[in-house]
Chains A and B, each alone.
Chain A
Amino acid sequence: MNQQQAALQDAYETLLLSYAAGLLDQAQNLIVASHVAMSPQAKEKVQECEALGGALMEKYCEPVSMGKQSLANVLNRLDAREAPQEHEKMYELIFPEGLSIPLCLKRSVACHVQHVHWRTVRPGVQSFELSLECRQSKTRFLKAGRGVESPRMAPRAMELTLILDGALMDETGVHKRGDLVIMDETCRHAATSCDRQGGFYMVVTSAPTHFSGLHQLLHSLFNR
Chain B
Amino acid sequence: MEGPDRPAETGRNGHFEQLLQDVAENRNKESFVQLFEHFAPRVKSFLMKGGTAEDVADELAQETMLTVWNKAPSFNPTQAGASTWIFTIARNRKIDALRKTGRFEVAPTDPDLIQSTDSPRGNTMRREEIESIAEALDELPEEQAMLLRQSFFEDKSHADIAKETGLPLGTVKSRIRLALERLRKNKTVRELWQ
Taking Cβ atoms with an 8 Å cutoff, the residues of A that contact B are: 21-23, 26, 29-30, 33-34, 36-38, 40, 43-44, 46-48, 50-67, 70-71, 73-75, 77-78, 82, 85, 100-104, 107-108, 111-112, 132-134, 178, 212-214, 216-217, 220-222, 224
Contact = CB atoms under 8 A, between A and B. Distances in A.
Contacts of A134: 99
Nearest to B50: A22
B45 interface: yes
Interface string B96-138: 0001111111111011111000110000001001100110011
Contact of A108 (B66, B104, B152): B104
Nearest to B161: A213
A211 to B, nearest CB: 9
Most buried by B among A38, A43, A55: A55
A165 to B, nearest CB: 13
A213 B32 CA distance: 35
A178 to B, nearest CB: 8
A74 B180 contact: no
13 contacts: A33-B106, A46-B107, A47-B80, A47-B108, A54-B80, A55-B130, A58-B10, A74-B66, A102-B107, A111-B101, A213-B150, A214-B151, A216-B151
Enumerate the 9 nearest inter-chain pairs by beta-carbon distance, A residue then B residue, closest first: A54-B84, A63-B41, A212-B157, A61-B45, A55-B133, A22-B91, A54-B83, A36-B107, A40-B118
Contact of A58 (B42, B149, B152): B42
Given A26-B99, A107-B105, A44 B110 contact: no
A196 to B, nearest CB: 23
Interface residues of B, number: 84
A111 B155 contact: no
A131 to B, nearest CB: 11
B149 A60 contact: yes
A37 B110 contact: yes
A99 to B, nearest CB: 11
Contact of B87 (A57, A82, A133, A221): A57
Given A37-B112, A48-B193, A58-B130, A104 B87 contact: no
B156 interface: yes
A213 B161 CA distance: 9
A66 B184 contact: no
B95 A51 contact: no
Given A212-B155, A217-B180, A51 B102 contact: no
Given A36-B107, A65-B41, 18 more contacts: A26-B99, A29-B106, A36-B106, A37-B107, A37-B110, A46-B107, A53-B88, A53-B91, A54-B10, A66-B41, A71-B40, A73-B62, A74-B36, A104-B104, A104-B106, A112-B101, A213-B160, A224-B184
Nearest to B190: A224
B84 A66 contact: no
B53 to A, nearest CB: 12
A37 B104 contact: no
A21 B155 contact: yes
A55 B10 contact: yes
Contact of B42 (A61, A70, A73): A61
Given A50-B88, A217-B148, A60 B153 contact: yes
B183 A221 contact: yes
A111 B99 CA distance: 13
Contact of B156 (A65, A82, A212): A212
